[in-house]
Structure 1
Amino acid sequence: MKLLSWNVNGLRAVLGKGFGEFVGTEKPDILCLQETKARREQVTLPPELDGYHAFWNSAQKPGYSGVAVFTRDQPLNVTEGMGIDEHDTEGRVLTLEYPDFALVNVYTPNAQDELRRLPYRLQWDAAFRHHLQTLAAHKPVIFCGDLNVAHHEIDLARPASNRKNPGFSDEERASFTELLGAGFTDSFRHFHPDQPGHYSWWSYRANARQNNVGWRIDYFGVTPSFMGNVKSASILPHVHGSDHCPVGVVLG
């Protein structure tokens, strides 16, 4: 079973940039998207997604945020948000329950310039951590998506100059450490513990992607007891169309 996650930075925009071909080539069993920036009725999906069950959680604010999941197998249950009004207006969480695991697609809020949204971000992180722990009390959990944080220095090209910037502040990194400590494994680092230069997001400025000056901020986190079912974890930097590239895991 192949699971892929991709922050598409606008689903309607990426449709004209080879999105259908990407789906047709990769043939994911489950495809999780973040930053869809659209409601379901605003999007004409490519034929490559025919036969998939589609689930959406869109932001109340038009053209903002939003997540979606396309899955070949019908899930047992689907939940939008975390059940907390103050955190559920931006379309950031979608939970699908399957027989063997729960899958959580997430688009974590950005701390924004000068960390002006950091206090909210940390509150949100705590709520999300609780959401995952509640699910994990019943069955293994896989979470995936744009977590908007590079965890360690190896996870971005220029750690020294980004130390207090959004996505690499001490507070956000500590919060992500706490998330993993609550019972999750960073699947990519499990398989590639010491390999630098693997990134999932690049700025549009200064030829960052061509020069691979990037950040790894997109993840698959997995309950440790379920890691034996994860056969590989990958990043797909050859896939263009967004400032992010897809990341994935294969279950077996």
Structure 2
Amino acid sequence: MKLVSWNVNGLRSCVNKGFVDYVHRSEADIVCVQETKLQEGQIELALGEKFQTYWNYAVKKGYSGTAVFTKHEPLSVRYGIEDNEEPEGRILTLEFEAYYLVTVYTPNAKRDLSRLDYRVEWEDRFRGYLKALDEVKPVVVCGDLNVAREDIDIKNAKGNRGNSGFTEEERGKMNELLGAGFVDTFRHLYPDRADAFTWWSNMPGVRERNVGWRIDYFLVSEKLAPAIVDAGIDAHVLGSDHCPVSLTLALD
């Protein structure tokens, strides 16, 4: 089974840049997107009859938002960490027979770190939520986690240390999550692969020179680690300042 995750930075714009074609080329069973930046009724998405669509819209217009497009019907769908309590539309959870799928758009601490305290508190709640799910059945987590985990995950580690997305607090929370029983699938397969990034600044020439960050992930419960077949980064795919990431699992 193949899953894809992509922060599209505005789905309507990304559709105009080839999103639907990419979905079909990917041959994914499930596609998760973050930063849809739209409200209900603002898009007609021609993915075909095979896909069921689930949306978590932010209350604020043109902001945040997540969605899941799946060829497999879920047993249940949950919006937010608690029942429908997420006004920024950051989390969607689909329950399948063998696992939970959680797609997430983690809050940004902001350039001036004015939202760092909120981010840290949110991370603790999110980790608790995932641990509770994992007690029931294994979990697949994907999305824009808004943090470069290690020095290898960012082009200029020394120059960015302490900046939003690379603070000790954010990296610490990421490592707490992994320490709670989750696996970074890309690093599980490719522990030493450098220059593997998923986000680039819009400044001229930055993406062409691959001056990027790896902030988009697939994580899985440790009990799913033996099922990991491949974890990919489609850095060549344009349409957003992020690129798609993928995970292939061998599930019965």
TM range (shorter): over 0.9
Superposition RMSD in Å: 1.1
Contact 1:23 1:49 in 2 (8 A): no
Which residue matches 1:239?
Answer: 237
Structure 2 runs not aligned, ≥5 long: none
Which residue matches 1:205?
Answer: 203
Question: SS at 1:50's partner residue?
Answer: coil
When residues 169 and 49 of structure 1 are mapped into structure 2, their CA distance, relative to the original with a 3 A threshold, is farther
Q: Runs of 4 or more off by more than 3 Å in structure 1?
A: none
- 1:21-40 aligned at under 5 Å gives the runs 21-40=21-40
When residues 225 and 34 of structure 1 are mapped into structure 2, their CA distance, relative to the original with a 3 A threshold, is same
What are the superposed Cα offsets for residues 11-30 of structure 1, whole Å, 9 maximum, x if unpaired? 01111001111012112100
Which residue matches 1:176?
Answer: 174
Question: SS at 1:113's partner residue?
Answer: coil
Which residue matches 2:248?
Answer: 250
Question: SS at 2:171's partner residue?
Answer: helix
Which residue matches 2:73?
Answer: 74
Partner Cα separation in structure 1 for residue 142 and residue 15 of structure 2: 22
Question: SS at 2:62's partner residue?
Answer: coil
Letter in 2 for 1:144: C
Q: TM-score, normalized by length of structure 2? A: 0.97
When residues 163 and 210 of structure 1 are mapped into structure 2, their CA distance, relative to the original with a 3 A threshold, is same
Residues 1:110 and 2:78 aligned together = no
Partner Cα separation in structure 1 for residue 49 and residue 207 of structure 2: 32
Partner Cα separation in structure 1 for residue 52 and residue 228 of structure 2: 23
Contact 1:96 1:103 in 2 (8 A): yes
- 1:109-148 aligned at under 5 Å gives the runs 109-148=107-146
Which residue matches 2:159?
Answer: 161
Structure 1 runs not aligned, ≥5 long: none
Question: SS at 1:210's partner residue?
Answer: coil
When residues 41 and 189 of structure 1 are mapped into structure 2, their CA distance, relative to the original with a 3 A threshold, is same
Query: How many residue pairs were aligned?
Result: 250
- Measure how far apart 1:206 and its partner are: 3.3
Question: SS at 1:175's partner residue?
Answer: helix
Q: TM-score, normalized by length of structure 1? A: 0.97
Letter in 2 for 1:181: G
Partner Cα separation in structure 2 for residue 158 and residue 174 of structure 1: 19
**Counterpart pick for 1:188 among 169, 186, 189:** 186
- Measure how far apart 1:172 and its partner are: 0.3
Identical positions, percent: 50
